[in-house]
């Protein structure tokens, strides 16, 4: 009688343990799956925009240009001059509408202030060191820096006017 009781209790205990074990395993599996699905859904959030696609219409950059006023209409003769300057000085690294050594300027005024653009043209060395957006841009382009082409302020302004037409 005693031995059967012992055997019975041992049996009961083992059943209890194995059941408990199973349940734990199940729970683990479940929570693991849950983790995976939450990871999957949170991964493709659109917040990881590259610097070249980021929109920052408050940042004026660092450099000689503090304020630029754009007339409502594009100044065609200034834009044509800017196009010449761009073709001579910039097309080694920039294509108007596709990524090349640097980003394409098409639509750039929807992403950056006119002041930031001109400071980037006139003062790129300091910009890529100190301006947060320019710093990120430099990283996106694997450390190849925007070149200072020694443009006059007038020519940089003309290039900006040309960018308005792209
Ligand atoms: C030697 C190559 C090179 C030349 C020449 C060059 N750039 Fe760049 N430019 C870059 C690179 C690379 C970047 C992006 C990485 C960075 O900022 O360092 C860039 C970034 C820029 C940006 C910022 C673009 C954005 O989307 O935010 C502007 C504006 C720009 N360049 C204008 C010009 C103009 C105007 C000229 C001609 C006067 C010119 N660049 C000549 C390489 C060049």
Question: Considering the entire predicted model, what is its pTM?
Answer: 0.77
Q: Tell me the domain boundaries of the chain.
A: 1-43, 53-164
User: Ligand 1 centroid to 103 CA: how many Å?
Assistant: 7
For domain 53-164, give the CATH number. Answer: 1.10.760.10
Instruction: Convert the pLDDT of each residue in 108-160 to its tens digit.
Output: 999 999 999 999 999 999 999 999 999 999 999 999 999 999 999 999 999 99
Instruction: Convert the pLDDT of each residue in 83-102 to its tens digit.
Output: 999 999 999 999 999 999 99
Q: Is the CB of 109 under 6 A from ligand 1?
A: no
User: Ligand 1 centroid to 147 CA: how many Å?
Assistant: 6
Which has the closest alpha carbon to 51: 160, 135, 123, 165?
135
Cα–Cα distance between 66 and 113 in angstroms, integer? 11
Cα–Cα distance between 16 and 14 in angstroms, integer? 5
């Amino acid at each position: 009688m005693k031995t059967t009781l012992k055997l019975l209790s041992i049996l009961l205990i083992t059943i209890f343990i194995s059941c408990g074990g199973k349940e734990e395993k199940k729970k683990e599996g479940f929570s693991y799956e849950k983790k995976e699905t939450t990871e999957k859904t949170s991964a493709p959030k659109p917040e990881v925009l590259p610097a070249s696609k980021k929109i920052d219409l408050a940042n004026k950059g660092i450099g000689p240009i503090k304020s630029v006023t754009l007339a409502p209409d594009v100044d065609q003769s200034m834009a044509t001059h800017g196009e010449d300057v761009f073709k001579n000085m910039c097309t080694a690294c920039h294509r108007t509408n596709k990524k090349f050594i640097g980003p394409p300027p098409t639509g750039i005024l929807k992403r950056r202030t006119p002041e930031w653009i001109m400071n980037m043209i006139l003062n790129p060395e300091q910009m890529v060191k100190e301006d947060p957006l320019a710093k990120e841009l430099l990283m996106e382009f694997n450390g190849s820096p925007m070149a200072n082409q020694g443009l006059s302020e007038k020519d940089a302004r003309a290039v900006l006017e040309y960018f308005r037409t792209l």
